[in-house]
Homo-oligomer: A and B are copies of this chain.
Amino acid sequence: MKIITLTTDFKDLYPASMKAVILNMCEEPTFIDLTHDINQGDILSAAFALYTTTHFFPSGTIHLAVVDPGVGTGRKVIIVRAANQYFVGPDNGLLIPAARRIGDVEVFEIGEKAMLDKISNTFHGRDIFAPAAGLLASGHEAEDIGQPIETFEKLNFGKANASVDKLYGKVLYIDSFGNVITNIPAKMLEDFARPAEKLVVKGNIASYSLTYGRVQKNELLILTGSHGFLEIAINGGNAAQRLDITGHPEIRIEK
């Protein structure tokens, strides 16, 4: 069994073309769609989606990720091997936080061999990235497909900070419930506030709670989410909408 996950900002249709290319190269792959609903070109959100999900997959899994605003501009195409998992995607930082979490990161630039005969200028997901994943899935090693490189684009989630009465961080991801996930680590939050303590975010009072169901319906809360970061949520509602948060702004939690 070869497991291949897909993460894109393609919404629909285009992922099927990528799967079709792989189905020609590899016996009985198991495809898992991580998400195709990343906002167009939002590399940081996609990097977070990979970071929070890929380490749960079995050894040998191949993660194909295409959020690629630089398609057609000469950015590199890379394979990242991390322990015994593989990542394929553009060299724009997208793959790095997830790979680093798994550890033992090696990066390879993909050579010509991996590509479809006819490469479009606009759909490298189908014409370059999918064939590379197909080669890995059919038993080729990263060394057979690409050349090891030392220089590649980095991306990190930034550093959160705490003072006596404030936490400073930024928004990494807004999930499908409208929960706002920040880069403030669980430990920093736990050192900062007592359970049920009232905190303030963007002028709104929010209780520090252990779980969604412990506050009133429609009440704003701050908690350690399942990702291990400080999360802003509304029990039964959409915190990002209520607080008018989009993208990746700085965020401040106050006592």
Contact = CB atoms under 8 A, between A and B. Distances in A.
Interface of A: 1, 3, 5, 10-14, 16-17, 19-21, 23-24, 27-37, 40-41, 49, 52-54, 56-58, 61, 69-73, 120-123, 126-127, 175-177, 210-214, 223-226, 236
8 contacts: A3-B23, A20-B56, A23-B57, A23-B61, A40-B236, A69-B236, A72-B213, A121-B210
B177 A40 contact: yes
Given A21-B56, A71-B211, A72-B210, 18 more contacts: A1-B27, A10-B176, A11-B177, A12-B33, A13-B35, A16-B34, A17-B56, A20-B58, A23-B32, A24-B58, A28-B30, A40-B177, A70-B213, A73-B214, A120-B225, A122-B211, A122-B225, A123-B226
Nearest to A18: B56
A226 B126 contact: yes
A71 to B, nearest CB: 6
A71 B122 contact: no
A16 B31 contact: no
Contacts of A127: 226
What is the total number of copies of this protein in its complex?
3
Given A69-B236, A70-B213, A53 B16 contact: yes
B224 A121 contact: yes
Contacts of A214: 72-73
A121 B16 contact: no
A236 B71 contact: no
Contacts of A224: 121
A176 B53 contact: no
B211 A12 contact: no
Given A122-B225, A223-B121, A226-B126, A53 B13 contact: yes
A54 B121 CA distance: 20
A102 B54 CA distance: 36
Contact of A213 (B19, B33, B71, B176): B71
B16 A32 contact: yes
Contacts of A35: 12-13, 16
A122 to B, nearest CB: 5
A23 B236 CA distance: 30
A56 to B, nearest CB: 4
Contact of A57 (B11, B13, B20, B32): B20
A58 to B, nearest CB: 5
